[in-house]
Structure 1
Amino acid sequence: MKKILLLFFLCLSVLAAKAQTSGRFTLKGIVGDSSGTILPEATVMLLLPKDSSLVNFGRAGKDGAFELKSLKRGTYIFKISYVGFIPYQEIVTSKDQDVVDLGKIQMKVLQKELYEVVIKTARAPLSIRGDTVEFDAKAFKVPPGSTVEDLLRKLPGVQVDGDGNIRAQGEEIKRVTVDGKRFFGDDPKMATKNLPAEAINKVQVFNGKTEQAKATGIDDGKREKTLNLELKDSHKKGGFGKAVAGVGTDSRLEGKVSYNRFNDKQQFALLGFGNNTNQSGIARNDYQDFKGSQSFNWDDGDFGFNSGRYYGGDELTIQPNWGGGGAEGFTKNWAGGANYNYDTKKTKLSTSYFYSQTDSRLDVKSSTQNFLSNESYQTRDNNNTHGFTGNHRPALRFEKEIDSLNSIVLISNTRINLGDTKYESQQASFRDESQPTNQSTVNNVSDYNSFAMANLLMYRHKSGKKKGRNFAASVSYNINNADEDKHLNSINVFSQDSARNSVINQLNQTESTRGNFKGSLSFVEPIAKKFTWETFYNYSLRKDKVDRDVFDLEDNVQKVNTFLTRYYSNDFTYNRLGTSVRYSANGLNLSVGVAGMQFDLKGKFATDPTNSKFTNINRTFFSLVPNVSLNYSLKNNRYLYAEYGLSVREPSITDLQPIVDNSNPLYITEGNPDLLPASTHNFYAGYQMFNPASFTSIYGNIYYNYNVNQIVYNRSINTETLITTTKPMNVSGSNSYGTYIGFGFPIVKTKLTVGGNVGLNFSNSIAYVNEVKNETDTKGYNFGPRLDFTPSDVFTLYASANWNISDTKYSINTSQNQKIINTNYSADMNIKGPKEVFFNARLNYRGYKNDQFGFNQKQPILNLSLYKLILKNKKGEIRVTAYDVFKKNLGVSQFVSQNFYTERRVATLARYFMLTFTYNMRGMSASVKRPGGF
């Protein structure tokens, strides 16, 4: 399989190169205006007359000259676009000429009264203005019923991976907007996966300012690659959407419906789906939002540089079970939500509500090899988890421009989670295969619910007397409360020490509450033409309470377990005062700053809140944190960036408590009241280049991290019983560093694009195993090519390969040194047949290899689908899909860390067949004049 794919890559490249050298011609000329003035860097394009599809494109030089090479002989439409001028168009034909010279072309200035006529009759499929690239969607053909994601795959310089992540011009797309407005918050995939391609008029890719730059008024030189979808006028009059229903073998069912209604000022969208095909509504970002860590997109409204910012500390929230994210096990999923935006010049309102629930079943078999100084042992765990989780996610963002000098922003996000989990496990540890040293049978049941809410109010004032002077203030209040009832039931047997045998039958009731008030101030003063000075202050007061009651159950009688029952409260105060000076001129943005940061941690704990004897923890930590950042916007779309900073994190109150937790007799945890704050020196630098004339992109970065007083969990393993006890300790000296380089360029513009990446990652981690220092050195190598072959709307192929090598060495027990090789080959092929019949094939071939443990797993996952467009105006679609044709879908993973290696296998949804019907609700006929009503 590997040889076939590599040979296919090579053949396509050779054929493409050969095709460019025979029967070809060159088109050239000079772009100017009617007065003879040169127009530099105009966008030039070549289109097919039959359907105006884009064949080739480029950009004139600073002298106005352009040259399109290796063009197939024939007749074309030649176009030129330039801001402020009427697009130029003429028919170009090459018969026997090797060079067609159009001479000096004269473009006419665009008059206001001609604007609408020009827009309707002379639209350019591609426009390049500085770092902004704009595509005319109708110039890139996709089958009816396609999503925006399918359209993006056809655009030059844009890549979409199998998970829907988007890169453009070599950079990750951070935000997708619809007509400049947010769509279901800031999740890029909500728009690209759910909006139809036929609704899109233009796709714009550009560099937007960061949220913090907008808030403070300081241009920090940082950019977020943004993609904006401009809707057709026809889809702003009436509604449009899609309904899908499917039935399959093994009782598989799926359904999905979406409805959208947009105009200039308002957007309304509905989305709902349900299935038992592992298409989960719970994603990793949902879980992060639930915890409140992603509530504001830019660090809870804190102003100032990143170094030394406070990011939250202890996690008190009951963690939901999200069923493997839809990729593992077997899940039943339901989700639905609505999004509403109101946008005028001075008022912007964005609201959304999304509910998702997952019923999951996870069967896992794992094997862990544990390394000691001169021996090793194996742990096996066969477990089953059956869980339900439901999440409510209302969100609101309100922006108001009070006047030209004052504005406010209000953000409120809420996450309500509830669920239950049943966990069964068979665990055992072996020195050899003959007799387990210990074994445990576990049967736990839990019910949990939580409520998290994050609110931010920010005010910004711009001085009317001095340009560049501004003041910003923010206040926020976050709530994070959770409750869990957990019934623990386990039988534990130790073959070497029967006195340790135990039966656990316990009820754990945990209630946790958190309130966090935060405030931040920023004052910016221009101190010279090219210099600005910022002073900032950040404050946070967090109050935590955890009340855990543990009862031993004997004959249905509850008896308090005083050893495991605990109550603690914690007040955490954070202050940061800092200043920075920024130089900004000619594309160079350099900032140097320093801040003083202080943590005050006051905690107390006892067996219950009424206890007269509390153990107190009172700690104060102070650090000076520097920060240096560089962002340099060079000419011709080249960017250079670098930053150094120091991050500091206080120990969690859980780690500081000198309490032994033996609720799992095979794995005991203990706190350490002598822990110091952990700090990390961080440095990274990178370079990006995008040539809009050739659509070539090159990007790369380097990084280095060094840890001081890193908090690690050292292990003590009883060599007789193999019971593991962990205790947090401070360790200095571990580090990580590496580099990443990527590139992409067209061999034949709009037809064949290739790219690739190379990554090197090295790390050294330190921990102690039975008081013996263990250094784990890992060298990682990652590389792979990518190919996009789109010769026409009849055939497209997207293919990629990736090799990931991880070489791990231990300072103790070097005989367990190992090399893990993971490979991944993927291909997505689309063929358009006669009578509106389409064929799609998706192959994902994964390989996992570890010779140290004789592990060699190959996993070819092939999905095939055949579909036909039906009904009037092609509004309907009938599709037959075969999932996992080879029946090889098995969740396989390997993990290496400190003194152990784990191999994990998860039974998951394998081969099945689906029959689906899709109905596309189309917008009404187009109108040049946009409607004013909703």
Structure 2
Amino acid sequence: MNGKKLLLYILLFFCCLHTFAQTIEIVGEIEDDFLKVPLSGVKVSILNPDSTVVVDSAKIVDFRNRNGKLLKVMFSAAVKAEKRDYLLRATRPGYGDVWESVSVLLPEIVSSVRLEEPIKMRKERNMALNEVVVKATKVKMYYKGDTLVYDADAFKLPDGSMLDALIRQLPGVTMNDGGEIFVNGRRVDELLLGSRTFFRGNKKVLMENLPYYTVKNLKVYEKQTDKSEALGYDVEPRKYVMDVNLKNEYNQGYIANVEAAGGTEDRWLGRGFLLGFTDRWRYALLGNVNNVNESRHIGEHGHWSPATMPQSLLTTRSVATDLDYQSKDKNVTDNFNADFTSSNTESEMRQRYEQFLEGSKPMSLTENRNESDNWHLKLVNRLVFKKPSYFDFTSYFDYDKWDARGRSGFEQWDKDLTASMRTNALSEGRGWAFCQESGGTFNINKEKQWYGGYSLFFRYSDNQSWLSNRYDTWQTVSQAEDVRYNASDVSKRWTNFSLNTYFTFSELWGKVNLLTGGNVQFSGDRSHDYLYHPDTLLLASQLDMLTAITDPSNSYDSHQRNWQYKVYLALSQQASYSIGDSPLKIMYDRWRIGVDVPVSHQSLDYKRGVIDTLAHDTWVFFTPNAAFRHMSKDGKHDFRVGVGYNCSPADLLNQIAYRDDSQPLVVKEGNPDLKGTATTSANADYTRKYGTHVSQWHAGASFNYRHRDVAQSASYNPVTGVYTYKPMNVSGAYSATARFDISANIGEKRYWTWQMNADANYDHSVDHAMLAGETESHVNAVNTTVLHDGTYIQYNKDAFNIRASGDIRWRHSEGRMRDFETLDALDFNYGLSARYTLPRIKTTLSADATMYSRRGYGSAELNTDDFVLNASLSQPFWKGKLIARIEAFDLLHQVSSTQYSVNAQGRTETWFRSLPHYVMLHLVYHWNRNPKKP
């Protein structure tokens, strides 16, 4: 034992001589965990907590006796003599990697840090069985530290599939119609590519254009913000991200694919995508032309209900590029994004609305046809410096231009025709906006985690639009016919500015942190809306001598200025947790209590007809908030609860006593007595991460109470058919929600996956509604309960995938009005989706069949059954580089373009022009080019 100590002292002595007064040595031993003997041939590295390498290979010394027997293996690595944490990684072929955490606590006193226990390496066991073929089954998902990892190779998808098809197959993952991703009920904040943002967070661009075969894995974790990375510790809440990592062979060179398609009903599509990498740059180019207005895929579950059918004919032409630079040390990044889109929209709609009133059911019929052309250009550049302190500089530029034309018809019935109106409309406009943001954060005392920061924001926008309408109105009772031409010249200019400063002092009182700061915000809105009555249908920009035909009571000039000064104060305490064997400590706020004190001042210079007023008002609010979070030390249990109070002033424009009767059958009025809104909200969440078979389950609840809100009161004149609307305050509304999500892998080989998403919602709404036999609306309360459960079970093995799914939603509504018709409605669907790839010829067959049903509605035509059947066939050629695919949507022509909706006040039947069924042939070509290996 004395000899061992002597050897250790000799090693430490020479290490200290070499690094005296500049560095500290991290020293330890290495041994085989099973045999309990010294182990040589191990590589030891020292890393920062963010995994950047400090020492690539530590010094390794083998100590042997005279006979050559290995007595001890020790390592030493020199690091800077400063107080900080490190990660230690030990690797050796045939052995599993070992991670440990090391802390340098007293650099001014000690010259070395010695690990208390040896690094224990465990050997990986490989067994060879005679005459037995062992086929490994890839694990689809697993936890690595605090990260949920999905292995892309474990999912077999047909050739030509994109990233979105892969994401939809991930256990515990759901996606809504808007492209938002949820992992076990929690929304993913950002979809990353190689830990870097892509197309400014536009998830659909990446999901619909990146071939799935290029993906190595997808990681889901809480990522530090750039600001936190720059300072070296968390200063902002982490983002919940899904990080797409490519296979090594696709991280250099470029990936490209082009697609062309044509189909029945004169449908066509063409698009191209290019993604390339160099050592420092990533570039992407996207082009798309189509008149399909469809992004759903056959053989995938969900989103095929009649309610999700496209409601217009849309032709789109777009091109976009994304350039991303990252310096070698990752301290400087720059991202440039440009996007141009031109679109044409043709829409046609017919609607029948029936109101529920005792003894009477007034009905309105509406029909309109519209066509519009839109052009949009957007340029964005973001430059970030992380060292020596954080700095962010972002510039935006937007330009829009549009024109539209349309016509509509409206009829109001109450047994007999009350009123009718025919409208023809023209409109055009243009607008642009420039925005500049900059911000910085700096350490005041890094060891104590004291920091400060600032942010500046400026935006200016200018929009001009011209509208023209012809109204032909007929009122039956008075036998009066009115023909009116309206031409509007509308201009809006906005200026916004804000300055924000903040300071954080960690562990100021014991373990309590202090955050304080303030901001100044200014917004200015200068606008006008001039209404003219020419004798024909012309845009205001085409008229001469406008003042002679001006409608002064429906024209206005407005100049509104809003100033807000806010100070805020928050106290918090941090805690940490780690996952599994990971030495990395993840920091989070255990509790946080704060208060904001905004002082708001508004002024309005308003001219309209005989109204010429200067209004102003000042408000002081007190908005407290509190949050608590508890994480178990192993990170498996996560409990969160929060509560907050928020309020805002009423818009001064709504408090002006104006009357707008520019539309023949609609009148709008202001309300001088209108007040602002006030809301209290509370939420609680609990997440349990992974068990034997359960990947994760989550339960959550929220409650919102609206102390004061704004609703639109309405009065109806049965003689003229005119509705008059005015904003009014209501109080006492509240809502409560609860949610439970669970996903599980079934069986040892995990071929089966089961998932359930259940939620309940109770809403006590307070609004204005008309009582039976009355023409004035009164405050009314409606209670609505919605119970929902959706589940699926899926079998996925190699090239075969089948999924059975079901969804049920029950809605119960009851009101306090004496003539309120209680509603008990049931919407449910069930179906199968399947996909199979024939082994040798690699032909892929996909199909989905779902029955969508509704029950409990007041009339027979609302209680419908829609059976939707879709199918597709795809065939790869040239080793998968060329894909031919034919798709047939709604084979049985069962999906109706008519939609029904029912609420407590009435029911609505709406028909949209769309393409619910068509057949399309696609040709897709993929290729990539990678630099040759040296």
Question: Do the aligned partners of 1:735 and 1:764 also contact (CA within 8 Å) in 2?
Answer: yes
Q: Does 1:475 align with 2:475?
A: no
Question: Do the aligned partners of 1:767 and 1:898 also contact (CA within 8 Å) in 2?
Answer: no
Match of 1:740 in 2: 739
Whole-angstrom distance in 2 between the partners of 1:163 and 1:710:
28
Whole-angstrom distance in 1 between the partners of 2:34 and 2:473:
90
Match of 1:599 in 2: 600
1:90 to 114, 122, 126: 126
Match of 1:582 in 2: 572
Q: Does 1:269 align with 2:276?
A: no
Gaps of 5+ in 2: 1-30, 38-93, 100-120, 297-306, 578-588, 771-775
SS in 2 for 1:890: coil
Match of 1:189 in 2: 204
Match of 1:863 in 2: 870
2:398 to 408, 415, 426: 415
Match of 2:658 in 1: 659
1:508 to 485, 488, 496: 488
What amino acid does structure 2 have at the position aligned with 1:382?
E
Match of 1:441 in 2: 422
Question: Do the aligned partners of 2:574 and 2:590 also contact (CA within 8 Å) in 1?
Answer: yes
Whole-angstrom distance in 2 between the partners of 1:397 and 1:680:
35
Instruction: Report deviation, 1:165.
Output: 3.9
TM-score by length of 2: 0.78
In the superposition, relative to structure 1, how do residues 198 and 80 fare at CA in structure 2: closer, same or farther (>3 Å)? farther
In the superposition, relative to structure 1, how do residues 218 and 86 fare at CA in structure 2: closer, same or farther (>3 Å)? closer
What amino acid does structure 2 have at the position aligned with 1:560?
T
What amino acid does structure 1 have at the position aligned with 2:344?
D
What amino acid does structure 1 have at the position aligned with 2:406?
Y
Match of 1:522 in 2: 502
Match of 1:234 in 2: 249
Question: Do the aligned partners of 2:593 and 2:627 also contact (CA within 8 Å) in 1?
Answer: yes
Alignment of 1:243-254 (within 5 A): 243-254=258-269
In the superposition, relative to structure 1, how do residues 900 and 537 fare at CA in structure 2: closer, same or farther (>3 Å)? farther
SS in 2 for 1:626: strand
Q: Does 1:456 align with 2:437?
A: yes
Backbone CA RMSD of aligned residues: 3.2
Whole-angstrom distance in 2 between the partners of 1:545 and 1:482:
11
Whole-angstrom distance in 1 between the partners of 2:522 and 2:455:
14
Gaps of 5+ in 1: 1-30, 38-78, 101-120, 282-323, 930-934
Whole-angstrom distance in 2 between the partners of 1:327 and 1:83:
54
Match of 1:41 in 2: none
Whole-angstrom distance in 2 between the partners of 1:173 and 1:397:
22
Q: Does 1:706 align with 2:705?
A: yes
1:632 to 630, 633, 642: 630
In the superposition, relative to structure 1, how do residues 894 and 126 fare at CA in structure 2: closer, same or farther (>3 Å)? closer
SS in 1 for 2:534: strand
Instruction: Report deviation, 1:760.
Output: 1.1
Alignment of 1:782-821 (within 5 A): 782-792=788-798, 794-821=799-826
TM-score by length of 1: 0.78
Question: Do the aligned partners of 2:34 and 2:122 also contact (CA within 8 Å) in 1?
Answer: no
In the superposition, relative to structure 1, how do residues 212 and 431 fare at CA in structure 2: closer, same or farther (>3 Å)? farther
Instruction: Report deviation, 1:636.
Output: 4.2
Q: Does 1:772 align with 2:778?
A: yes
Q: Which range is displaced more, 149-158 or 210-219? A: 210-219
Greater C-alpha Rg: 2
Instruction: Report deviation, 1:832.
Output: 0.4
Superposed CA deviations along residues 745-792 of structure 1, whole A, max 9, x for unmatched, are 111353111111221111122223415322122111111212232122
2:213 to 181, 198, 207: 198
What amino acid does structure 2 have at the position aligned with 1:472?
G
In the superposition, relative to structure 1, how do residues 821 and 384 fare at CA in structure 2: closer, same or farther (>3 Å)? farther
What amino acid does structure 2 have at the position aligned with 1:349?
D
Question: Do the aligned partners of 2:225 and 2:236 also contact (CA within 8 Å) in 1?
Answer: no
Q: Which range is displaced more, 820-829 or 515-524? A: 820-829
Match of 1:109 in 2: none
Whole-angstrom distance in 2 between the partners of 1:217 and 1:578:
24
Question: Do the aligned partners of 2:227 and 2:386 also contact (CA within 8 Å) in 1?
Answer: no
Superposed CA deviations along residues 380-421 of structure 1, whole A, max 9, x for unmatched, are 212222122222222222111241xx2111223333222122
Question: Do the aligned partners of 1:540 and 1:573 also contact (CA within 8 Å) in 2?
Answer: yes
Q: Which range is displaced more, 393-402 or 126-135? A: 126-135
Question: Do the aligned partners of 2:184 and 2:742 also contact (CA within 8 Å) in 1?
Answer: no
Instruction: Report deviation, 1:254.
Output: 0.7
SS in 1 for 2:311: coil
Whole-angstrom distance in 2 between the partners of 1:627 and 1:217:
27
Instruction: Report deviation, 1:123.
Output: 11
What amino acid does structure 1 have at the position aligned with 2:215?
I
Question: Do the aligned partners of 1:277 and 1:332 also contact (CA within 8 Å) in 2?
Answer: yes
Instruction: Report deviation, 1:377.
Output: 1.6
Match of 1:55 in 2: none
Instruction: Report deviation, 1:152.
Output: 3.1
What amino acid does structure 1 have at the position aligned with 2:550?
V
Whole-angstrom distance in 2 between the partners of 1:898 and 1:539:
44
Q: Does 1:541 align with 2:538?
A: no
SS in 2 for 1:149: helix
In the superposition, relative to structure 1, how do residues 766 and 169 fare at CA in structure 2: closer, same or farther (>3 Å)? closer
Whole-angstrom distance in 1 between the partners of 2:804 and 2:322:
35
Instruction: Report deviation, 1:684.
Output: 1.1
Instruction: Report deviation, 1:157.
Output: 4.2
Whole-angstrom distance in 1 between the partners of 2:523 and 2:558:
14
Whole-angstrom distance in 2 between the partners of 1:122 and 1:379:
62
Question: Do the aligned partners of 1:475 and 1:519 also contact (CA within 8 Å) in 2?
Answer: yes
What amino acid does structure 2 have at the position aligned with 1:396?
N
What amino acid does structure 2 have at the position aligned with 1:625?
T
Match of 2:756 in 1: 756
Q: Does 1:340 align with 2:351?
A: no
Instruction: Report deviation, 1:629.
Output: 1.2
Whole-angstrom distance in 1 between the partners of 2:675 and 2:591:
33
What amino acid does structure 2 have at the position aligned with 1:814?
D
SS in 2 for 1:145: coil
Whole-angstrom distance in 1 between the partners of 2:95 and 2:157:
25
2:827 to 812, 822, 826: 822
Q: Does 1:425 align with 2:408?
A: yes
Question: Do the aligned partners of 1:621 and 1:677 also contact (CA within 8 Å) in 2?
Answer: no
In the superposition, relative to structure 1, how do residues 670 and 849 fare at CA in structure 2: closer, same or farther (>3 Å)? farther
Whole-angstrom distance in 1 between the partners of 2:805 and 2:351:
30
Instruction: Report deviation, 1:623.
Output: 1.2
What amino acid does structure 2 have at the position aligned with 1:428?
E
Question: Do the aligned partners of 2:322 and 2:337 also contact (CA within 8 Å) in 1?
Answer: yes
Question: Do the aligned partners of 2:171 and 2:755 also contact (CA within 8 Å) in 1?
Answer: no
Match of 2:48 in 1: none
Instruction: Report deviation, 1:326.
Output: 8.4
Superposed CA deviations along residues 698-732 of structure 1, whole A, max 9, x for unmatched, are 11211111112211111112233332111001111
Question: Do the aligned partners of 1:378 and 1:431 also contact (CA within 8 Å) in 2?
Answer: yes
In the superposition, relative to structure 1, how do residues 134 and 704 fare at CA in structure 2: closer, same or farther (>3 Å)? closer
SS in 2 for 1:887: coil
Match of 1:355 in 2: 340
Superposed CA deviations along residues 824-856 of structure 1, whole A, max 9, x for unmatched, are 445432110141211111345433445224312
Question: Do the aligned partners of 1:87 and 1:122 also contact (CA within 8 Å) in 2?
Answer: no
Alignment of 1:103-118 (within 5 A): none
In the superposition, relative to structure 1, how do residues 389 and 89 fare at CA in structure 2: closer, same or farther (>3 Å)? farther
In the superposition, relative to structure 1, how do residues 476 and 856 fare at CA in structure 2: closer, same or farther (>3 Å)? same
Match of 1:134 in 2: 149
Question: Do the aligned partners of 1:424 and 1:444 also contact (CA within 8 Å) in 2?
Answer: yes
Alignment size in residue pairs: 782
SS in 1 for 2:200: coil
SS in 2 for 1:874: coil
Instruction: Report deviation, 1:525.
Output: 0.9
